[in-house]
Structure 1
């Protein structure tokens, strides 16, 4: 028995329609190719990885996460945290592939494989294998048990039921709602010894990807959930709806409503970033032309604008340059006051110079507040 999908109320249907409208707008905007699309997509994926891992206490900056995604050594993140980031990034990359796979079906083996990707470096935790015993979730501050998962004898049956539902259940329900319920049921079954929270959020993203709602990085709510104040609300609603022990019953609408709100708020944020990306790119292009610099250097400046840090290897890869070409471009940008170099050899990176800082300050004053759709 699983937690059941709730019936939506008129207010929820109105919020869902607004989300769909923003989705259609995003899809229309993304249909036209732009120079900044790849960097924006990479940034969104890094922020989703950052959000989901921060909920579990693994903190890393977006710049370091992008380095890990590129197979580079992070500048600030510790090795243990970098392992957590790399594992989750591998799982999310596989989810991107699965979202577009022409032949696809949910099964327990696939879910176990994703769990192995997430925590495979913790061999003592049985990655990819259903837990052998009971599981208790404790409050990190008090040590109090706040949730007890189902008895281990019930887990295989619950997982089989979840997989069957993923393939066949509630197919007439909006994708956002199905994804929310997939997340909720998996996190409450808590089938593995570790990685259950990240797996549940990853499964939600996969369901959305399979629904062809948008590319996973554009429809994930993991970044939104990773904000400290939202994370607290996230735990509160999981506890409120699911209770302290496994027992599918009660009203799951508060959970679905929480997820719809998160989708709405994140969609607003992504739409703002997409519009801002075009404005920033055009502005930087005009400045670079006036300075007589190569137009390709705009990609380096854009990276520094959104992430505050750039490594030569990232720019070199993005533009398909030789090491010498990339180094000369960055040296020219630093000489013109756009960038400021720090460090030496492998640890060298570029931060905003005085001219970039002024542009960043101008854009910082133009922030448009997000609207809570339920208020």
Structure 2
């Protein structure tokens, strides 16, 4: 029987070269992560928060990394609305489950799992039949012009298309590189558009799960959701989808341009993650020396590292990270503020700490050292 899905394209020499470089960066990353460091937990949390931020911002749900980290910890965010916080929470629940599934010793893809992940993401939208196949046709519109840019397959075809996609996820193109299979899983699911809502977030999450199952690296280190959610990249993402979809379900188009778009995103995100990992070690050791010279407790480095990578820190976050009492955490942060490392703002529940003059100087120094990322296809 002929496949009803979009086919995996053969790669050209240039793609094989890019793929080789991505795999080399991932191997290096895996090797570096094998040795535990004090900053690993915070780096993993930030990467997950940035992936959630990226995937939701594509859908118009915007929140700061700091607020997303608060939501992930079960706290109320400082700035994000309740409606957006629910979207973030749903996305986090699904991505956390994907982290579990990536390590599960017994696993197979099935339609029930995909529907369940969709329910986790958008279960708070009762009017959108979360976790169930859409009842009718679906049209994707350009939010600026209202023009229909893509029409999904008829609703009655969705169950058999999902069944074929699940079969392919378990058995299809197993000799193809993981990055290519993950890109095609993303593309086929978003093109089937099986649900009334959450299709984009689900397709990006499925791409991450395929890579997670292939043990490329843990999901937070292999996801390209952060990359896709950034400004110009989001427009390029929509253009890459539209170029291969050709406005309606027509699964015999050329998908090489789409796969190349994903390989390029993986390469650029891997460069960025590798740089963050190197920077984390350098910054942490620099801060350890400074904290020691100031006669402060060594644990306060984790508070300083948090304001190095983010705009602000809340006492509850530091208290949780270092397993402290409320009093200990408050004293440490007060000492850091007195030494010029942090600046406190707000009162009681709304209180947070931003970088003080000494931390701003370190942040500015590192910002000036940033080398532009290298486009592998140029």
Q: State TM-score, norm by structure 1.
A: 1.00
Paired residue for 2:172, among 169, 173, 181? 169
Distance (whole Å) between structure 2 residues aligned to residue 103 and residue 114 of structure 1? 18
Return 5+ residue gaps in structure 2 as ranges: none
Deviation at 1:357, TM superposition (A): 0.6
Distance (whole Å) between structure 2 residues aligned to residue 270 and residue 6 of structure 1? 28
Deviation at 1:307, TM superposition (A): 0.6
Distance (whole Å) between structure 1 residues aligned to residue 225 and residue 110 of structure 2? 23
Return 5+ residue gaps in structure 1 as ranges: none
Deviation at 1:153, TM superposition (A): 1.1
Deviation at 1:368, TM superposition (A): 1.2
Distance (whole Å) between structure 2 residues aligned to residue 276 and residue 94 of structure 1? 29
Paired residue for 1:248, among 247, 251, 255? 251
Correspondence list, 1:350-365, <5 A: 350-365=353-368
SS of the counterpart of 2:343?
Answer: strand
SS of the counterpart of 2:369?
Answer: coil
Question: Residue 13 of structure 1 corresponds to which residue in structure 2?
Answer: 16
Correspondence list, 1:112-151, <5 A: 112-151=115-154
SS of the counterpart of 1:68?
Answer: helix
Deviation at 1:228, TM superposition (A): 1.1
Correspondence list, 1:148-297, <5 A: 148-297=151-300
SS of the counterpart of 1:23?
Answer: helix
Distance (whole Å) between structure 1 residues aligned to residue 152 and residue 365 of structure 2? 50
Deviations 1:288-341 (A, max 9, x none): 000000000000000011012101111011011111111110010001010011
Paired residue for 2:80, among 77, 90, 97? 77
Q: State TM-score, norm by structure 2.
A: 0.99
Distance (whole Å) between structure 1 residues aligned to residue 156 and residue 80 of structure 2? 39
Distance (whole Å) between structure 2 residues aligned to residue 170 and residue 116 of structure 1? 28
Aligned residue-pair number: 375
Runs (4 or more) in structure 1 with deviation over 2 Å come to: none
